[in-house]
A and B are shown apart, each in its own frame.
Chain A
Amino acid sequence: MATNILMPALSPTMEEGTLAKWLVKEGDTIESGMILAEIETDKATMEFEAVDEGTMGKILVAEGTENVKVNDPIAVLLEEGDDASAAPDSGAAKAEETKADDKGKEDDTPHAKAPAATVPAAPMAAPTPAEPEFPEGTTFKTQTVREALRDAMAEEMRANDDVFLMGEEVAEYQGAYKISQGLLDEFGARRVIDTPITEHGFAGIGVGAAFAGLKPIVEFMTWNFAMQAIDQIINSAAKTLYMSGGQMGSPIVFRGPNGAAARVGAQHSQDYAAWYASVPGLKVVQPYSAADAKGLMKSAIRDPNPVLVLENEILYGRSFEVPEIEDFTVPIGKAKIWREGTDVTIVSFGIGMTYALEAATALAEEGISAEVIDLRSIRPMDTATVIESVKKTNRCITVEEGWPVCSIGGHISATLMQEAFDYLDAPVINCTGKDVPMPYAANLEKLALVTTAEVIEAAKAVTYR
């Protein structure tokens, strides 16, 4: 009986990939373990091995095809006695069996199901903020957050020889998440530096280099690993300007993916926004869109203070419109209103914006007009924009992936109570990740994360609908 060979998921967050090359042709005998094809994900080119034995019946997806969805049939494997004409050409045959595992994953991992770059879904299709941010006549190009971050670093490295990048796998491997792709080729090993796995040490070396006036970009493979280096980030980078009476500071950028990816468990799935935002001397940005990722990264590199850029692995592959403006930057400390509304203010940042915008769309269908604010910068925080919005809507909910205790939402709630108490018609609700370490099981992980449904529910609660 013929079996469909499906496009494999080759990373926790992969949704689609390029079928770069077939290493077998129709009619070849296939043995278990044979390399069938090379598949390019957004991070790497991977070899794809056969699991079952048989004969290659039909190749359904030609090599060089881009944006092949995970779980789409890419070829048909014939067992003994089958002939090629028996081959199914789409998702029939035994596909159901072989895709059972991946199917479960996709169903139960809502944020991994994000709209792919090729077919932008509703929230991504209209990524134009309510406030006109760019001069009339500005042209845009569609870019992933990943490409925008790389461009930002490359532009700043071209402009200033003092800027260099160091971290694990940033150079020869081209970045664990491919953010530094191509930088080694352009800037060489002097300025794009692979480190050993030694976060505490290289974070300190970076801060020392910044004391001496260089402008290091220190990449943490993920922010989870930066906990080994947190002493250098806080005690050395954040406090030295103050302790030296203004004589010397740390013009350094610490960056990397933050928060949950998908199914990577408790030690790899933490949002550090609230942790670092509490530290005077640090600046913290957490971009959502590619344009903000680019503009904030460039501002971060130029800033004379230590700036932490909390990126997100799931957002890396998402596409947005990025303005084609020479030397485009986004100021640190300025929120952006993505959607104007009158009934409730939804404040979020980073990946949380996905749920905020999805909820706003759904709420609109039910006649609730939500104003959606992307903080973009967590410290300094543009609370003025939030307060102005609440003066209009009289209701506020916050959305973040981090834990509820001492959260960013908690801080916003306190700020509104102190500065906009008379404008509030309902208590502020904080939609957050649950107060648990991130579980691995797909169903539990889904429960632990904040969801669009929870945001909708909260919006209805504060508007008494």
Chain B
Amino acid sequence: MATGTKRSPRAKKPNASKEELLHFYKEMLQIRRFEEKAGQLYGMGLIGGFCHLYIGQEAVVVGLEATAKDGDQRITTYRDHGHMLACGMDPKGVMAELTGREDGLSKGKGGSMHMFSKEKEFYGGHGIVGANVPLGAGLAFANKYRGNDNVTFTYFGDGAANQGQVYETYNMAELWDLPVVFVIENNQYAMGTSTKRATKSPSLFVRGEAYGIPGEQVDGMDVLAVKAAGEKATAHCRAGNGPYILEMMTYRYRGHSMSDPAKYRTREEVQKMRDERDPINAVRDILLTGKHATEDELKEIDKEIKAIVNEAAQFAQDSPEPAVEELYTDIYA
């Protein structure tokens, strides 16, 4: 098995159908609008606690979901709204969980950071940095134990990449050939600490090499590059070759959480990413220049998505708070 590690080139030419491009556009836009709405509801006091928005990183999860098949699992950290929408969880249920209501996916008992869907094979939503990495390998362990060819997408950030349990997991995942794609969403800031201030390693995917895990760095702002890398990674896992690491170079436009003023980076840096590297605009450009869609058609899509998000927001406000009896349910099965 090759353990080569390299940076994959940016996809120069779009190798995607019109349908696929439109699908990516819709999916990413839905996450963007949903997160903007969540930010708005947070400002209104309807969402409490911690709320970590995925704005800017949409291409990562949308591109990878395009390589998933039935039965594949996904697990991530607390910046999880995008992952849930991308795997098909109901925006109404997600938003109602953010507002802490009875119709939320966790009946209002989990909140932004702790949501799950057995139906969609989404295993959270975890608030402890790094803890979801061995959990993801455990889901992959179950696939191997049962002898199916499913894979587990285990997402974590550049901050989590410095946690010890990540490397404990790398070791066992490769030792046991577990079918897990480790997705490092490197948005370059672990809360307020830039990767340069947290590690001298120039890149994070190379760390798998020490354990024999192949990996590559991917332009995480380019949904097509993400998908291409995901196909390679999942093929590797499904063939029984063990884990694969994808370091997605991405960027979050908002602060770490709603309460983070993000003073650790310049306004210009953020604006430059938005102007030049935005994943949604990139697909929009391809759609328009390739004449796959007209401005009007895209506007129509924008309208549809706005309606879905508004409906979710209304639903999340109309849903009642959980019954007080719920305090003592679901502690034991």
Chain A interfacial positions (CB closer than 8 Å to B): 164, 190, 195-196, 198, 200-214, 231-232, 235-236, 240-249, 251, 280-281, 283, 304-305
Contact = CB atoms under 8 A, between A and B. Distances in A.
Interface stretch (B117-125, B182-190, B283-291): B117-125
Given A235-B131, A248-B123, A281-B331, A204 B137 contact: yes
Given A198-B168, A231-B131, A245 B104 contact: yes
Contacts of B106: 243-245, 247
A140 B121 CA distance: 47
A397 B108 CA distance: 43
Nearest to B121: A212
B333 A249 contact: yes
B146 to A, nearest CB: 8
A247 B120 CA distance: 11
A247 B116 contact: yes
A243 B110 contact: yes
Contact of A204 (B124, B133, B332): B133
A243 B114 contact: yes
B145 A164 contact: yes
A241 B330 contact: yes
15 contacts: A196-B175, A204-B169, A205-B134, A209-B141, A209-B142, A211-B135, A212-B139, A231-B131, A232-B134, A240-B116, A240-B124, A244-B114, A247-B105, A247-B117, A248-B118
A220 to B, nearest CB: 15
B319 interface: no
Contact of A200 (B114, B115, B143, B164): B164
Interface of B: 73, 75, 104-110, 114-118, 123-128, 131, 133-143, 145, 164-165, 168-169, 171-172, 175, 329-333
Contacts of B165: 200-201, 204
B212 to A, nearest CB: 14
Given A198-B168, A206-B138, A212-B138, A242 B131 contact: no
Contact of B134 (A203, A240, A281): A203
A77 B203 CA distance: 66
A208 B110 contact: no
A198 B168 CA distance: 6
A235 B128 contact: yes
A211 B135 CA distance: 8
A78 B134 CA distance: 59
A243 B138 contact: no
A241 B127 CA distance: 15
B142 A213 contact: yes
Residue among A202, A213, A243 with max Cβ neighbours from chain B (10 Å): A243
Contacts of A280: 331
Contact of B330 (A198, A202, A242): A242
Contacts of B333: 241, 246, 249, 251, 304-305
The 10 A-B residue pairs whose C-beta atoms are closest, nearest first, are A208-B138, A204-B134, A201-B168, A212-B142, A245-B107, A304-B333, A244-B116, A245-B106, A208-B135, A243-B114
Given A195-B172, A245-B107, A245-B110, 20 more contacts: A164-B145, A196-B168, A200-B134, A201-B168, A205-B138, A205-B141, A208-B134, A209-B139, A209-B142, A211-B138, A212-B73, A232-B135, A236-B126, A243-B124, A244-B106, A244-B118, A244-B124, A245-B109, A247-B105, A304-B333
B138 A281 contact: no
A208 B139 CA distance: 5
Nearest to A164: B145
Contact of A208 (B104, B108, B141, B330): B141
B142 A198 contact: no
Contact of B138 (A200, A204, A249): A204
A245 B204 CA distance: 35
Contacts of A211: 123, 135, 138-139
Contacts of A243: 106, 109-110, 114, 116, 124-125
A246 B134 contact: no
Contacts of A247: 105-106, 116-118
Contact of A245 (B105, B126, B140): B105
A164 to B, nearest CB: 7
B290 to A, nearest CB: 41
Residue among B110, B131, B134, B143 with max Cβ neighbours from chain A (10 Å): B134
Residue among B114, B138, B172 with max Cβ neighbours from chain A (10 Å): B138
Contacts of A205: 134-135, 137-138, 141, 169, 172
Contacts of B128: 231, 235-236
A190 B144 CA distance: 10
A248 B136 contact: no
Contacts of A203: 134
Nearest to B116: A244
A283 B331 CA distance: 11
Contacts of B332: 241, 281, 283, 305
A321 to B, nearest CB: 32
A207 B138 contact: yes
Contacts of A196: 168, 171-172, 175
Contacts of A240: 116, 124
Contacts of B105: 244-245, 247
A178 to B, nearest CB: 24
A189 to B, nearest CB: 10
B184 to A, nearest CB: 17
A209 B114 contact: no
Contacts of B171: 196, 198, 201
A208 B131 contact: no
Contacts of A242: 109, 330-331
A214 B135 CA distance: 13
Contacts of A241: 330-333
B32 to A, nearest CB: 26
Residue among B135, B145, B164, B171 with max Cβ neighbours from chain A (10 Å): B135
Nearest to B168: A201
A196 B134 CA distance: 14
Residue among B105, B131, B143 with max Cβ neighbours from chain A (10 Å): B131
A41 to B, nearest CB: 31
